[in-house]
């Protein structure tokens, strides 16, 4: 429960986001760069890890406006055209879960993975569940989230009981597992409460305590999204009024059609 004390994050002035008119920063100039987006939950995983390990001076943020991203990003930097991606040691790599593990293995700072074999195994189980969790909750937006997404939040509640000595998934140790989930849980908590009047923490005391504890960690707090802005973005991107059933909210588009950070499983990972 000493995560806040270990947190090496420091306040920083965030650089402006780059759009299609922006010039490309020098490539492979010896600077480690994190290509990111200030509203993307996948990118936030790597941003939080960077912050907690105190790597603000070592890893430069290059934020992009995904709805109007520069052509040079896919043409010269990262052909998959997704965020996050990391420029380090003469190569560009992507995929958020891979990148947070990469930062843990290749950079100094507080450890974010346990030595205990049982906790290591459980961490991998929870990493493997992230896509299922996210997909289940997002899909529930077109139906009854309390019924359809409830089991996914119950899964997290049960996981938080595994090691009962602390508020985090691995007990007292704040870890990459917490980082993998919190950007999404943050958004789901706000959106489901505002739009569906569904409190994901009701009847889930461990989940409530976990969220409360995460909100004490500066590395995470520095990445949090404006709640009102996030709700409006989610409404526009995921849900529209049906032409034939004006009281019915439906999913807008599909994963492959969305072009910003809400293109959950096609544009960012």
Q: Is the pLDDT of residue 264 over 90?
A: no
Does residue 91 form part of some domain?
yes
Write the CATH number for 81: 3.40.30.10
pLDDT reported for residue 10 = 75
The gap between the terminal CA atoms of the chain, to the nearest Å, is: 29
Q: Residue 188: exposed, middle, or buried by beta-carbon count in 10 A (0-12, 13-18, 19+)?
A: buried
More confident residue, 257 or 149: 149
> What is each CA distance from 224 to 38, 43, 46, in whole angstroms?
9, 12, 13
The token pair that represents 168 in the structure block: 């985090």
CB 156 within 8 A of CB 205: no
As beta bridge partners, residue 170 has: 173
Please, how many CA atoms are within 13 Å of residue 177, restricted to the half-sphere of its CB?
25
Does residue 73 form part of some domain?
yes
| Banded pLDDT at 177 (limits 50, 70, 90) | very high
Does residue 44 form part of some domain?
yes
**Residue range of the domain that includes 32:** 3-106
Q: Is the pLDDT of residue 245 over 70?
A: no
The token pair that represents 10 in the structure block: 């420091």
Give pLDDT tens digits for 6-30: 777 778 899 999 999 999 999 999 9
């Amino acid at each position: 429960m000493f995560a806040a004390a270990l947190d090496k994050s420091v306040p920083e002035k965030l650089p402006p986001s780059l759009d299609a008119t922006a010039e490309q920063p020098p490539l492979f100039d010896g600077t480690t760069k994190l290509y990111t987006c200030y509203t993307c939950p996948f990118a936030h995983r790597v941003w939080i890890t960077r912050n907690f390990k105190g790597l603000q001076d070592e890893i430069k943020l290059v934020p992009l406006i995904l709805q109007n991203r520069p052509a040079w990003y896919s043409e010269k930097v990262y052909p998959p055209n997704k965020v996050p991606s990391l420029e380090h040691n003469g190569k560009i790599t992507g995929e958020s879960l891979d990148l947070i593990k990469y930062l843990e293995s290749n950079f100094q700072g507080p450890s974010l993975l346990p030595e205990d074999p049982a906790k290591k195994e459980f961490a991998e189980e929870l990493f493997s569940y992230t896509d299922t969790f996210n997909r289940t909750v997002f899909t529930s937006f077109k139906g009854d989230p309390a019924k359809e997404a409830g089991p996914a939040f119950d899964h997290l509640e049960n996981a938080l009981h595994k090691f009962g000595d602390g508020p985090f998934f691995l007990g007292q140790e704040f870890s990459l597992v917490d980082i993998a989930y919190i950007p999404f849980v943050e958004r789901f908590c706000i959106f489901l409460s505002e739009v569906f009047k569904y409190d994901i923490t009701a009847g889930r005391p461990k989940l409530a305590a976990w969220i409360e504890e995460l909100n004490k960690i500066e590395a995470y707090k520095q990445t949090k999204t404006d709640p009102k802005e996030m709700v409006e973005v989610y409404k526009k991107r995921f849900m529209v009024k049906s032409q034939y059933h004006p009281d019915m909210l439906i999913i807008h588009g599909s994963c492959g059609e969305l072009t910003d950070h809400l293109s959950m499983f096609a544009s960012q990972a």
